[in-house]
C-alpha cells in the first residue's frame, strides 16, 4: 500500500472512531492507546511505518468496540490487529 492510500485509510478509520466516541456504551479509555501515539492522518511528515502502526492500533480499538467477546468475528479481528500493531511497532 502506498503512503497516500495508507493516509486515506487512516483518515477514514479516524472518522469511524469519532462516531464510536459519541456512543454512550463505548468505554472512554478504549481509544486512549491510539491517542497516545500522537499520529494523526494529517501528519503527512510522519513515516509510513508510524501511520501503519497507528492504523493497526486504531483497528484493534475499533474491532474491540464492535466485538461482543474475544471469540466473535470482531474480537478475532481485534486480536489480529493487536498482533499486527505489535509487529509494526517493533519495526519503528
* pLDDT over 80 (residue 69): no
State the CATH number of the domain containing residue 66. Answer: 1.20.1270.110
- Residue 2: the pLDDT is 95
Q: Count of CB atoms within 10 A of residue 76's CB?
A: 13
Whether 49 and 90 have beta carbons less than 8 Å apart is answered as: no
pTM of the model: 0.83
Number of domains in the chain: 1
User: Containing domain of residue 53, as a range?
Assistant: 3-90
Q: How high is the mean pLDDT of the chain? A: 91
Contacts of 85 (CB under 8 A, 6+ apart): 53, 56, 57, 59, 60
Amino acid at each position: 500500500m502506498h503512503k497516500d492510500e495508507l493516509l486515506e485509510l487512516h483518515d477514514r478509520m479516524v472518522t469511524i472512531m469519532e462516531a464510536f466516541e459519541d456512543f454512550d456504551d463505548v468505554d472512554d479509555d478504549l481509544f486512549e492507546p491510539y491517542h497516545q501515539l500522537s499520529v494523526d492522518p494529517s501528519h503527512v511528515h510522519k513515516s509510513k511505518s508510524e501511520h501503519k502502526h497507528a492504523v493497526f492500533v486504531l483497528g484493534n480499538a475499533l474491532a474491540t468496540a464492535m466485538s461482543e467477546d474475544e471469540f466473535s468475528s470482531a474480537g478475532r479481528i481485534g486480536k489480529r490487529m493487536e498482533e499486527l500493531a505489535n509487529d509494526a511497532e517493533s519495526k519503528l
